Amino acid sequence: MTKGESCDQDLTEKIEKDIRTDFKNSMTYGEYLNLDELLGAQNRLSAHHDEMLFIVIHQVSELWMKLILHELIAAIKAVEADELDTSFKLLARVSKIQAQIIQAWDVLSTLTPSEYSEFRDSLGNASGFQSFQHRMIEFALGYKTTHILKIYEKNDKLHQTLTHALHAPGLYDAAIHALSRGGLPIDQEVLSRDLTKPYNRHDSVMQAWLDVYMNKDQHWKLYQLAEKLVDIEDAMQQWRFRHMKTVERIIGFKKGTGGSSGVHYLKKVLDHQFFPELWELRTRI
Q: Binding site for heme, residues?
A: 243
**Binding site per annotation, positions:** 54-58, 116, 120, 243, 257
Query: How far, CA to CA in Å, does 116 sit from each of 98, 173, 212, 225?
Result: 25, 41, 49, 42
Q: Are 178 and 231 in contact (CB under 8 A)?
A: no
Q: Torsion over CA of 147, 149, 154 and 159, rounded to 10 degrees?
A: -160
Give the C-alpha separation, 117 to 123, whole Å: 11
As a whole number of angstroms, the longest Cα–Cα distance in the chain is: 78
**Binding site per annotation, positions for substrate:** 54-58, 116, 120, 257
- Of 135, 171, 172, which is closest to residue 150 (Cα–Cα)? 135
> Backbone phi, then psi, for 47, in 5-degree steps?
-95, 10
